[in-house]
Amino acid sequence: MAKLAVYPGSFDPVTNGHLDVINRASKLFDTLVVAVAINAAKKPLFNAEERVALVKRACDEMGLTNVRVEYFQGLLHEEVRKLNANAIIRGLRAVSDFEWEFQMALMNRELDENCETLFLMPSPKYSFVSSTMIKEVAMLDGEVSKFVPEFIAEELRKRTSK
């Protein structure tokens, strides 16, 4: 049986930390689906189609042939079931992420007993990087190219230039 995992997130924008987790998770599963979440409560800088395209390009540039990128809306456990996935991948940057991620993992398993969550930590050099922080730095005209691929840094500059 082919093993498929789902790595959900807003990826607004995808960071080098996300890409590190994607790369490592892609080696553990036959197929990894990066599931770009549409959440009406959040006001993303990039729309869902743009975020999917940015993640796809980054994965293509990394040569990740077993990674699919698509967007989803709704409950994660339903998307996992629809894809017939074996696991959910979640990244943990720091201890502060753990409590929220742990609660989400338990909720998903409560909603569907077959929903297993695996936690992966990014490389230490990315442990402090978050999409929110990257957007804030970009909005203040700071340099973000060491935290995201250069083409994403360029998109951020275009989107946030005053």
Torsions phi, psi for 126 (to 5 deg): -110, 5
The identity of residue 138, as a single letter, is A
- Annotation says 131 is catalytic: yes
Catalytic residue among 10, 18, 90, 135: 18
Catalytic, out of 51, 56, 93, 135: 93
Active-site pick, 51, 90, 131, 135: 131
* Residue 77 is among the residues annotated as catalytic for this protein: no
Q: Please say if 93 is a catalytic residue.
A: yes
**7-25 exposure pattern, b = at least 16 Cβ within 10 A, e = fewer:** bbbbbbbbbbbbbbbbbbb
> From the candidates 3, 42, 125, 146, which is the catalytic residue?
42
For residue 124, the one-letter residue type is P
Residue 3: half-sphere exposure toward Cβ, Cα within 13 Å:
10
Mind telling me the catalytic residues? 18, 42, 93, 131
